[in-house]
């Protein structure tokens, strides 16, 4: 039986921390599905199609990683993918409270789900997409936080808004 793990998120934008989690998960599971959320209530910098393109570009070297979109209830998506494994990244201790609540809710909705928490490399523990968006919006370089492809996309996105 194949072990399929799902790593959901908005990935707006995908950071080096996200990519580190994806790489780690790809070594632990037979297949990893990076599920890009399609939440219309959130205001994203990148559209769903742009975020899909970004994640696909970054994960191309990882043969057991697929990229998909998700809307609706996460546990329903897990069932459609025949997965019982949910990947969540933990950067700092303050993430744990929210993630623990989320894991508990998911287990109540789908008793077979197991949430696996992965920590990124130490150099990415402070990294958040919201911070990357803000420094990009202010015109600073983002290359140390995101892949070169994402850095170019951010630069184009924010230079077009001026």
Catalytic residues: 18, 42, 91, 129
Please state the length of the chain.
162
3-state helix, strand, coil in the chain (%, to 5): 45, 20, 35
Neighbours of 9 (CB within 10 A): 19
Helix segments in 8-92, DSSP class H? 16-28, 48-59, 74-80
Strand order in the sheet with 65-70: 65-70, 31-37, 4-9, 85-89, 114-118
């Amino acid at each position: 039986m194949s072990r399929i793990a799902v790593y959901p998120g908005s990935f707006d934008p995908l950071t080096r921390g996200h990519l580190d989690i994806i790489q780690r998960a790809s070594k632990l599971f037979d297949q990893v599905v990076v599920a890009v959320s399609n939440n219309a209530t959130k205001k994203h910098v990148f559209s769903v199609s742009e975020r899909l393109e970004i994640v696909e570009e970054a994960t191309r070297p990882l043969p057991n990683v697929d990229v998909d979109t998700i809307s609706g209830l996460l546990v329903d998506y897990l069932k459609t993918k025949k997965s019982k494994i949910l990947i969540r990244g933990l950067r700092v201790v303050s993430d744990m409270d929210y993630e623990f609540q989320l894991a508990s809710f998911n287990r109540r909705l789908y008793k077979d789900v197991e949430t696996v928490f992965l920590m990124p490399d130490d150099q990415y523990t402070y990294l958040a997409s919201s911070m990357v968006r803000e420094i990009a919006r202010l015109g600073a370089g983002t290359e140390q936080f995101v892949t070169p492809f994402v850095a170019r996309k951010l630069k184009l996105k924010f230079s077009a808004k001026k």
